[in-house]
Structure 1
Amino acid sequence: MGEEQDTQAVEGEPAGTGAESLRAQRIERAVQLRDAGHDPYPPRIERTHSNAEVIGMLAGVESGAEPDLDPVAVVGRVVAQRGMGRASFLDVLDGSGRLQALLRRNVVGDDAYERLKLLDLGDFVAVQGTPMRTRTGEPTVGATSWQLITKALRAPPEKFHGLTDVETRQRQRYLDLMANEEVRDTFRARSRIVAAIRRRLDERGYLEVETSVLQEEAGGAAARPFETHFEALGEDRVLRISLELHLKRLLVGGYERVYEIGRIFRNEGFSQRHNPEFTMLELYEAYGDYGTMATLVEEVVSGVAQEVLGTTTVSFGGNEIDFRPPWRRLGYVEALREYGGLDLEEFGDTEALREELRRRGLDAPSEAGRGKLMDIAASDLVEPHLVQPTFLLDYPIELSPLAKRKAGAEGLVERFEAFVGGFEFANAYSELNDPVDQRDRFETQRALRLAGDDEVELADEDFLLALEHGMPPAGGLGLGIDRLVMLLTGQTSIREVILFPQHRSLSRQDDE
């Protein structure tokens, strides 16, 4: 082994003469190891400490010291090699961090030292020895023995430039995680965020449940479902587009506080904030309302930020966001007037509103009803201004067929959406529990569908049957986990917080 070995791969290591030649060399080294009686993929290994634990053992130990500490056995991926005649260094990376190993010929023996010639960057090794510090102060394991425990047949991403092509990073996330510490940090943060949410809900007496992914009806949201076929039953099914209707059935059954964190599937497009497969938190609290839900969102999100990040202030999209409660409350109709200069009272007629939006250059389809037109206006005129945490309150009834009417406000319902950084990440209702009104709302939605509006919610007869058995008044909340992680980690693309986001297949790309 010569000087420090650099990786020779390029991003994603595309097929070609160079990549295949390197792969062939690595396969040959694995053969040589086997021929010498060393399994390059042994069935079990010994590990006594993580790298971080070894570094902790050396706290207070002076540079150049080899203290009398207990022997350790560490494991990890080789990310750097440096040969210096009769001594060599390996940098070994495990899940807790990087640690140096010093291998001296006179300690490990000639055979073990010569075997280093068959080692490549990206291989996994086990090293046994004693913790020490080098003269430069580097925490190190002074090896007494070592073994190769996984021979990597392909080189890791190029050392100094990392992995930068966005599509390659997302398609081959394992390379992205291997090359970019900040990416590993993002997904560690995601895990901690979800755990912190669960802990807070459990402490408040919510029961975590799991409901069906395969459903007979696509209910609870206005979205196009993915369709499949249940061979054993000979019936079609859809993948769920919402968690809502099954969770509300549980309120009918007698549970008072329930939640689910689960995957949702919507057969729609991609964007910086949309992925067809995403993770949603939905919860329902009997005897609550949308005000109850607003307080819960403030407390949970600010508390999670403080726990995971150590602060309630984050940077997102060039803005400093402060999650400390209380968040601003702003009426939907008032927001259109404040940010868009659009007074809905001046456009009481649906056609007049449509013409006004078109005059402003907005897309206002002929089949869109009044509620949809208001949504188009709010999306363009209001939402980009909602940078600090804001609850947008009291939505048009056409957009919210599962929410209770707001007393004294014709055509509006008790619903809010929570906005941060100019986009929505949570949605809550005072849940409609009048089965007759609910059926009428679904019929209105059906009429909108027949008029050409695809973004409507259709009736679920089994849910309506459940509702007729009586559901208590309740507040309900849906919160996008992926979007919350974006906000708390400063990622402006949803694909950067989903480990394996969807992409067009490579074979389709080749065909096109």
Structure 2
Amino acid sequence: MEDSALNEFDIRLNKATDLRKMKINPYANRFERTHTSKQALSQGEKSKLREVADIVKSPEKTPMKLCGRLMTLREHGKLTFGHIQDFYGKIQICFMEDFIGKEKYKLLKKIDMADFIGVTGELFKTRHGEITLLIYEFTMLSKALRALPEKWHGIKDQETKYRQRYLDTVMNRESLERFLFRSDLIKILREFYWAEGFIEIETPVLESVSSGAAAKPFITHHNALDIDVYLRIAAGELWQKTALVGGFEKTFEVARCFRNEGMDPSHLQEFTMIEHYAAYWDYEDNMNFTERMFEYFLKKLLGTTKIKVKDRDGNEIDVDFKTPWPRKKFVELIKQDCGIDILKHDNAKDLLKEIKKKKIFIEGAGALGYGNLADHLYKQVSRPKLIQPTFVIQHPLSTKPLSRKNDDDPRLCDTFQLLVNTWEIINAYGEIVDPVDQRERFEAQVRAKAAGDEEAMMMNEEYLTAMEHGMPCISGWGMGIDRLVTLLTGQDNLKDSVLFPLMRPL
């Protein structure tokens, strides 16, 4: 710590020691409040409040009890004003020496900003019209040994916000509101699923076979079984479809997922996804469901389908989620944007040759299988242009190892992605339910992995066995919650929407 901070730390620690000597516990067990700050302010607006002189003359027999963190403290001789902050907001408080007595008033010297206190008193209005609690009694609830950042400067350093989020949410109500928004969003999504007849299930985080997406997994060791296992890379895709084999028809899961890949403003190694799967749907049904879902939660959360977001350059732009959204074919988008018809180049070697011919650079392209190479090409030339909500549909078969072949063109599959402001928000399939087809796709992925594609999938015999027992037609999708919150709240980085993002230790 810097000298000034160290000195303040010692001063506060000494005050805690002084309180103990006075038989006052600086870390109380509990405090029973009667009102939150919001409730107190609301009551103050609705009620006829007494003058201070009347309160002093005849104190209320059933006073109001509030508690929270002391954010300001201003002494004016025998009067001291301050603000306490709780989860719901702030309220002004007033200590009057002539009312609470000289000895109690002296105790204020042992209180600092950032301390948690409990206060008992009655509301009045100051000459400036501010609703204020005149203190009868006050209680130390928790002594803070470190000061908060200065009110008017707050926390400017972004890394500090990520490492010490508690300071960010204490000092910046907007940050706290962002995480309340996230909580409300997940709650409303659950309510929508329940209303649509979906059942929430839980699937394993540790898997003996990594599955559900083309991604590099984290590996750990299970000591009791003496086997290496993988942290899930998706929200239980194969497990949810296995549940549909077992008689479920509509399932969803809100899940923490892990991918041992690169980090940038739109990718984190640990993130939250929602996935759902519905028997007897095709991908068109799922697109219609998605449009209904977005209109529902946007109107419930924001009251509108129009929002402002930041583009890649940090400029505010308007995005309108009003449905229906355009549907654009994956192959045609790439052809339109760079002139390459990926269906005419149906292996990695030929496609890479054409990419180089067009002078398009893709990092690590030589190690990618055909499917991942096509996907990286799309991300390079087409995705940056997709700003308004757009369904990108019908990806090449080899790019989606778990997706159903398209009936009209078996080189393509029944898929869609929802793109907003260049970010992929949803990835969706008409699922493969043919076990022979699925085995062939897995085998192709195994070959790609053997050739050096770390993101290719593994063979999963247990899942194939479940499929062989009969699987209904299915459509499902996955949606990144972190991305969605970042988008809807106008942030620049996924870390701004994760309460405690992982950081490299200092």
TM-score by length of 2: 0.94
The residue matched to 1:284 in structure 2 has which SS? strand
Match of 1:198 among 177, 190, 194: 190
Given candidates 331, 336, 339, the residue that maps to 2:337 is 339
1:12 paired residue number: none
> Segments of 4+ in structure 1 off by > 6 A?
none
Q: Which residue of 2 aligns with 1:403?
A: 403
Match of 1:34 in 2: 20
Partner residue in 2 for 1:361 = 360
Alpha-carbon distance change, 434 to 81 in structure 1, aligned in 2, over 3 angstroms = same
Q: Which amino acid aligns with 1:25?
A: I
Deviations 1:53-97 (Å, cap 9, x if unpaired)? 000001155798569886210000000001111111110000010
Q: CA deviation at 1:224?
A: 1.6
Q: Note the C-alpha offset of 1:260.
A: 0.3
Q: Distance in 1 between matches of 2:230 and 2:370?
A: 29
Q: Which residue of 1 aligns with 2:481?
A: 481
Q: Which SS does the other structure have where 1:254 is aligned?
A: coil
* Partner AA of 1:297 in structure 2: T
The 5-angstrom pairing of residues 169-318 of structure 1 reads 169-242=161-234, 243-317=236-310, 318=316
Corresponding position: 1:109 with 2:101: yes
Over residues 12-63 of structure 1, what are the superposed CA-to-partner deviations in whole Å (9 max), with x where a residue is unaligned? xxx2222111110001001111111211111121200000000000115579
Q: Counterparts of 1:136 and 1:340 in 2: how far apart (Å)? A: 65
Cα-to-partner distance string for 1:219-278 (whole Å, 9 max, x where unaligned): 111112112222222222221111201111100110000000010011112110111110
2:366 aligned counterpart, secondary structure? coil
Is contact 1:65–1:134 with CA below 8 Å preserved after alignment? no
Change (3 A) 1:126 1:263: same
Where 2:479 maps in the other structure, the secondary structure is strand
Structure 1, 54-63 or 209-218: larger mean CA deviation: 54-63
Report the number of matched residues.
492
The one-letter code sitting in structure 2 at the alignment partner of 1:392 is V
Whether 2:40 is the aligned partner of 1:54: answer yes
Over 3 Å counting, the alpha-carbon distance change for 1:374 and 1:232 in structure 2 is closer
* CA distance in structure 2 between the aligned counterparts of 1:258 and 1:348, rounded to whole angstroms: 35
In 2, distance between residues paired with 1:256 and 1:350?
38
Task: For 1:471 and 1:391, locate their aligned partners in 2 and report how far apart those are by CA, in whole Å.
Answer: 27
Distance 1:431 1:118 in 2: 65
- 8 Å Cα contact 1:397-1:413 kept in structure 2: yes
Partner of 2:313: none
| Cα deviations by residue, 1:320-358 (Å, 9 ceiling, x for unpaired) | 111121111111112123333434466567545323322
Aligned to 1:6: none
8 Å CA contact 1:62, 1:137 repeated in 2: no
Name the aligned partner's letter for residue 224 of structure 2.
Answer: A
Matching of residue 434 in structure 1 with residue 434 in structure 2? yes
Compute the displacement of 1:126 (Å).
0.6
Q: Is the 8 A contact 2:273 2:478 kept in 1?
A: yes
Query: Quick check: 1:127–1:147 contact (8 Å CA) kept in 2?
Result: yes
1:360-509 equivalence runs, <5 A = 360-363=359-362, 365-506=365-506
Secondary structure of 1:285's counterpart equals: strand
3-state secondary structure, aligned to 1:413: coil
Find out whether 1:22 has 2:5 as its counterpart: no
8 Å CA contact retained: 2:95, 2:135 = yes
TM-score by length of 1: 0.93
**Shift in Å at residue 377 of structure 1?**
2.0
State the Cα RMSD in Å.
Answer: 1.8
Equivalent AA in structure 2 for residue 26 of structure 1: R
In structure 2, list runs of 5 or more residues that go unmatched: 311-315
Identical amino acids, percent of aligned pairs? 37
Aligned pair partner of 1:153 in 121, 142, 145: 145
Q: Is the 8 A contact 1:129 1:141 kept in 2?
A: yes
* More deviation, 465-474/351-360: 351-360
CA contact 2:340–2:354 (8 Å) conserved in 1: no
- C-alpha contact 2:308 2:318 (8 A) present in aligned 1: yes
For structure 1, the residue ranges without an aligned partner over 5 or more in a row are 1-14, 507-512
| Alpha-carbon separation, structure 2, partners of 1:108 and 1:136 | 23
Aligned equivalents of 1:329, 1:438: Cα separation in 2: 26
The answer on 1:326 being equivalent to 2:324 is yes
| C-alpha distance in structure 1 between counterparts of 2:27 and 2:492, whole Å | 40
The separation in 2 between residues aligned to 1:351 and 1:438, in whole angstroms, is: 24
Is 1:75 the counterpart of 2:67 in the alignment?
yes
Please give the secondary structure, in 1, of the residue aligned with 2:491. coil
From the superposition, tell whether residues 425 and 491 of structure 1 become closer, same or farther in structure 2 (CA, over 3 Å). same
Aligned counterparts of 2:148 and 2:251: Cα–Cα separation in 1: 45
Contact 1:218 1:238 (C-alpha < 8 Å) held by counterparts:
yes
Structure 1 distance, partners of 2:443, 2:103, is: 80
8 Å contact kept, 2:70–2:85: yes
1:135-150 to 2 correspondence within 5 Å? Answer: 135-150=127-142
Distance 1:349 1:494, change over 3 A: closer
1:127–1:194: structure 2 CA closer, same or farther, 3 Å change rule? same
Residues 101 and 458 from structure 1, CA distance in 2 versus in 1: closer, same or farther, beyond 3 angstroms? same
Contact conserved, 1:63 with 1:134, CA < 8 A, in 2?
Answer: no
Q: Matched residues in 2 for 1:206 and 1:405: separation?
A: 26
